[in-house]
Amino acid sequence: MNVLRFESESAWIACVCSLWRDRLQTNPGLKMCLPSGTTPAGIYAGMSKSARAGLASFAWASVFALDEFGGLAPDDPGRTRHTLQRQLIDAVDLPASRFYFLDPDVPDVNHHCTAYDEAIGDGFDLMLLGIGLNGHLGMNEPGSAPDSPTRRVELHGSTVQSAARYFAHQNVPQWGLTVGLQAVLASKEVWLLANGPAKAGIIQQTVRGEIDPSNPASLLRRHENCSLFVDAEAGGLLLD
């Protein structure tokens, strides 16, 4: 795992956006998997700005949403699909037909998840990930099998608690659908992103602790092309 630590959040954002523009330029048909959450918000704003300035194009690319919350109204603004649309998709030139998302309201969720894995096909070129306070990736909670497929999952208590900030109501989701660790670990390139002081502990464990499914993010240390991008706060315990 290549660890990149930045002195400021703005430098962290600028570097990720610059590399992302480069990947799109080198491979216009880039197949990406993207998270929602608060971590990538500034990066998505930077990429939206780049697209508006003509410095980045998603015209030939594909984007798959990493996960989706279940048990919400279809138009709930906290759903991953809507958050990603607001933060990035609506601001860039990605054709609507190449934005893939998970729908927890379909009658046959298992079939839907299998079809998602089929659409992913031979894997992602680039996967962006946030990290949960317990090391989860997407909704792959601690204990998820490294070869897990896209599937329905129950969220851990701490995940439910921390997801509450995404919603303006009390009906915080207890379950969701997530791309599995199999597709995460098979992605050609993975960028694990973390900012802010709350992530310092789990980042330290991820980089220095045991490689074990009890911390899904630690499994990325076995990936051949994974970079961890942290700001000074999230990387604050990595120095010594």
Catalytic residue annotation: 67, 134, 136, 141
Q: How far is the CB of 133 from ligand PGA (least distance, A)?
A: 7
Q: Does 42 bind ligand PGA (CB under 6 A)?
A: no
With b for 16 or more beta-carbon neighbours within 10 A and e for fewer, the 17-35 pattern comes to: bebbbebbeeeeebbbbbb
Q: How far is the CB of 132 from ligand PGA (least distance, A)?
A: 4
Applying CB under 6 A, the span of 31-39, 48-56, 87-95, 142-150 interacting with ligand PGA comes to 31-39
Q: Does 135 bind ligand PGA (CB under 6 A)?
A: no
Q: Does 134 bind ligand PGA (CB under 6 A)?
A: no
Tokens of 58: 């998603």
Identify the CA nearest to 146 among candidates 177, 176, 114, 182.
182
Report the SS3 class of residue 206. helix
Rounded-to-integer distance, Cα 3 and Cα 238, Å: 10
Q: State which residue, 159 or 182, has the beta carbon closest to ligand PGA.
A: 159
Q: State which residue, 130 or 180, has the beta carbon closest to ligand PGA.
A: 130
Q: E-assigned strands of 7-139? A: 31-34, 62-65, 67-69, 99-100, 126-129
Sign of CA dihedral 165, 166, 167, 168: positive
Q: Does 39 bind ligand PGA (CB under 6 A)?
A: yes
Q: State which residue, 40 or 104, has the beta carbon closest to ligand PGA.
A: 40
The residue number with the shortest CB distance to ligand PGA is 37
Q: Does 78 bind ligand PGA (CB under 6 A)?
A: no
CA angle 35–8–87, rounded 5-degree value: 30
Q: State which residue, 136 or 223, has the beta carbon closest to ligand PGA.
A: 136
One residue of 46, 78, 130, 180 binding ligand PGA per CB under 6 A: 130
Q: How far is the CB of 29 from ligand PGA (least distance, A)?
A: 27
Beta bridge partners of 100: 64
Q: Does 38 bind ligand PGA (CB under 6 A)?
A: yes
Q: Let me know if 37 is exposed, middle or buried by CB neighbors in 10 A (0-12, 13-18, 19+).
A: buried
CA angle 113–33–184, rounded 5-degree value: 75
One residue of 46, 70, 104, 132 binding ligand PGA per CB under 6 A: 132
Which positions touch ligand PGA (CB under 6 A)? 37-39, 130-132, 136
